[in-house]
Amino acid sequence: MSNLQTMGQQHGRRSWAEPWKIKMVEPIKMTSADDRKRALSEAGYNTFLLRSDDVYIDLLTDSGTSAMSDRQWAGIMLGDEAYAGSRNFYHLEAAVQTHYGYRFVVPTHQGRGAENLISQVAIKRGQYVPGNMYFTTTRLHQELAGGIFADVIIDAAHDSQDLHPFKGDVDLDKLRALIDKVGADGIAYISLAATVNMAGGQPVSMANARALRELCNRHGIRVYLDATRLVENAYFIQEREPGYADKTVSEIVKEFCGYTDGAWMSAKKDNLVNIGGWLALNHEDVFEAARNLVVVYEGLHTYGGMAGRDMEALAIGIEESMSDDHIRARIGQVRYLGELLEQWSIPIVRPIGGHAIFLDARRFYPHLTQTDFPAQTLAAELYLDSGVRSMERGIVSAGRDPATGDHRFPKLELTRLTIPRRVYTQAHMDVVAESVKAVYDHRDSTRGLRMVYEPQYLRFFQARFEPA
Ligand code: PM9
């Protein structure tokens, strides 16, 4: 239950608070409207191109931006920087095995390093990779390895207002239809993400993961999991799915992974570190292939691009991330912000997801077409108003179809307010909400953007825009 709901109860106010206190602070800079106008223009109206010194509250991403604990910082001092066989690797390996349940672990510098390995090892050119909605880097690595991504998420996920409790679920009928069409051999593996970032941080139910496993077993198809925000997913299962209220988040994570053959991880999210990733596998042959390839792209198989100290902080972060109190407060803070916006009827993706509030830019700016880049525009307007940095998750992020070269036109045109873990306070959330409200209040006079520079890969990172 969120603080706002708690406050609304008749029998008195009983708020929750974060299960930590602040030991060290990092000053942030306040900027003037003129400063922001200049900075945004220099950044080509792309929030990725702003200097962080020009940002007041940074909700660009929850990736690598979380605050580490005193225990993690103490772990940094225990770094064993041996090139080979660092003891910190064995701590990391044990933490992944204990909490996620997989047999083999390959460390990587971050999530996309692991995505590259699994894509190269498990995809044959021309094979399909069905998944529950695309993610930018995931799909790109699948395509670079010769795969063809096929969206098999339930339709509700593409509707910002559908209140389905598990909008991340795989539509098994869509998947069966694809298997019938291309055969099991035509499918590399299922790319299952939990939660689903581009749908608004929406969870996958345990029932769906179990049913997916059964279907894939019948056809001999493997299931690989994007575990980047699985702990958040587990919290939603505990809260919403019958039979899970009395299980811990850690138990739920382990059961969920048990329905999959392996997972890749951007440890910069759930796992509470500023850098790091891993690939975990159950099949020895796949593991051996990935362990061999990691030395080509990342580093030796006992560091994979991370320093020993980073692996120690990660091993501790994995353990901390599984705490029920931690994850309840983390998702509670996201909800606090979302409920403030809902009170003012500001259009957001519902239900509120795990890591971010996603503003529905189509409904925010109904007078703009998708090629006016409404979500990019909204991110720019928010920055101009208050120095709050957000991220486009719409047509720019979707990129171009590699076969036709045309824009992809996703149904969801969203601006993401992403909350780093253990970083900002409730007062920061109030400031953010009030800024969104101010931008909403002058929405009718807002004009769109046009793209003036477009890089080949993952254009949202580096594209430049000008006011239309
Ligand atoms: N996600 C995010 O802000 C980082 C920048 S945008 C590409 O949401 C999932 C579900 C992610 C993710 C990164 C990655 C890649 C994989 N899966 O950024 O390479 O959300 O560690 O992970 C970002 P890395």
Whether residues 296 and 359 share a domain: the answer is: no
- Residue 126 pLDDT greater than 90, yes or no: yes
Quote the percentage of the chain above a pLDDT of 70.
98
Whether residues 84 and 199 share a domain: the answer is: yes
Whether residues 263 and 146 share a domain: the answer is: yes
Whether residues 128 and 256 share a domain: the answer is: yes
Q: Is 135 a catalytic site residue?
A: yes
Q: Is 269 a catalytic site residue?
A: yes
- pLDDT for position 250: 98
Q: How many CB atoms lie within 10 A of CB 411?
A: 12
Q: Is 167 a catalytic site residue?
A: no
Residue 414's SS3 state is strand
Summarize the confidence of residues 330-343 as an average pLDDT: 98
Q: Which residues' Cβ are closer than 6 Å to ligand 1?
A: 61, 63, 110-112, 135-138, 193, 197, 226, 228, 266, 268, 277
Whether residues 292 and 407 share a domain: the answer is: no
Whose alpha carbon is nearest atom 18 of ligand 1? Answer: 111
Q: Sorting pLDDT into bands at 50, 70 and 90, what band is 369?
A: very high
- pLDDT for position 6: 56
Q: Sorting pLDDT into bands at 50, 70 and 90, what band is 9?
A: low
The answer to whether residues 184 and 146 touch, using CB atoms and an 8 Å cutoff, is: no
Ramachandran region, residue 179 (left: φ > 0; alpha: ψ -120 to 50; beta: rest): alpha
Q: Sorting pLDDT into bands at 50, 70 and 90, what band is 2?
A: low
What's the CA gap between 370 and 282, in Å, rounded?
43
3-state helix, strand, coil in the chain (%, to 5): 45, 15, 40
Instruction: Report how far apart, in Å, the C-alpha atoms of 128 and of each of 277, 316, 323, 399 are.
Output: 25, 37, 37, 19
Summarize the confidence of residues 395-422 as an average pLDDT: 97
- Domain-terminating residue out of 270, 297, 321: 321
- pLDDT for position 373: 98
Instruction: Report how far apart, in Å, the C-alpha atoms of 130 and of each of 170, 221, 303, 391 are.
Output: 9, 11, 31, 26
- Residue 10 pLDDT greater than 90, yes or no: no
Digit-coded pLDDT (tens) for 84-109: 999 999 999 999 999 999 999 999 99
Whether residues 395 and 273 share a domain: the answer is: no
Task: Write the CATH number for 220.
Answer: 3.40.640.10
Whether residues 139 and 240 share a domain: the answer is: yes
What's the CA gap between 240 and 195, in Å, rounded?
14
Measure 271 CA to ligand 1 centroid, in angstroms: 13
Whether residues 329 and 317 share a domain: the answer is: no
- Residue 3 pLDDT greater than 80, yes or no: no
**Which residues touch 310 (CB under 8 Å, ≥6 apart)?**
79, 273, 275, 276
Strand-pair partners of 279: 106, 264
Active-site pick, 56, 128, 135, 244: 135
Q: Is 460 a catalytic site residue?
A: yes
Whether residues 135 and 275 share a domain: the answer is: yes
Instruction: Report how far apart, in Å, the C-alpha atoms of 387 and of each of 335, 341, 420 are.
Output: 22, 18, 16
Instruction: Report how far apart, in Å, the C-alpha atoms of 282 and of each of 104, 162, 194, 261, 279 are.
Output: 6, 36, 19, 6, 10
Digit-coded pLDDT (tens) for 15-73: 889 999 999 999 999 999 999 999 999 999 999 999 999 999 999 999 999 999 999 99
What's the CA gap between 238 and 331, in Å, rounded?
13
Active-site pick, 393, 421, 422, 459: 393
Whether residues 329 and 458 share a domain: the answer is: yes
- Residue 345 pLDDT greater than 60, yes or no: yes
Axis-axis angle for helices 374-386, 426-441 (nearest 10): 120
Q: Is 440 a catalytic site residue?
A: no
Token pair of 246, please? 């009395």
- Domain-terminating residue out of 288, 321, 354: 321
- Scanning 70-129, the segments in alpha helix (DSSP H) are 70-76, 87-100, 111-122
What's the CA gap between 321 and 318, in Å, rounded?
5
Active-site pick, 226, 261, 270, 372: 226
**Which residues touch 314 (CB under 8 Å, ≥6 apart)?**
92, 95, 267, 271, 273, 276, 278, 306
Residue 243 identity: G
Whose alpha carbon is nearest atom 1 of ligand 1? Answer: 63
Active-site pick, 112, 139, 213, 269: 269
Measure 459 CA to ligand 1 centroid, in angstroms: 14
CA dihedral 50, 51, 53, 57 (to 10 degrees): 40
Whether residues 99 and 21 share a domain: the answer is: no
- pLDDT for position 12: 83
Q: Which has the closest alpha carbon to 419: 58, 113, 20?
A: 58
Largest distance between two CA atoms of the chain: 62
The atom of ligand 1 lying closest to the CA of 197 is: 10
- Residue 4 pLDDT greater than 80, yes or no: no
Exposure class string for 39-56: b at 16+ Cβ within 10 A, else e: bbeebbbbbbbbeeebbb
- Domain-terminating residue out of 292, 321, 350: 321
Q: What angle do CA 94, 189, 174 make, to 5 degrees?
A: 130
Whether residues 273 and 375 share a domain: the answer is: no
The answer to whether residues 282 and 102 touch, using CB atoms and an 8 Å cutoff, is: yes
Q: Sorting pLDDT into bands at 50, 70 and 90, what band is 436?
A: very high
- Scanning 123-229, the segments in alpha helix (DSSP H) are 136-144, 172-182, 206-219
Structural domain tally of the chain? 2
Instruction: Report how far apart, in Å, the C-alpha atoms of 421 and of each of 196, 303, 375 are.
Output: 18, 25, 24
- Average pLDDT, whole number, for the chain? 97
Measure 229 CA to ligand 1 centroid, in angstroms: 10
Q: What is the DSSP letter of 242?
A: T
Mutate to test the pocket of ligand 1, among 135, 271, 358, 391 (most ligand atoms within 8 A of CB): 135
Q: Which domain holds residue 151?
A: 70-321
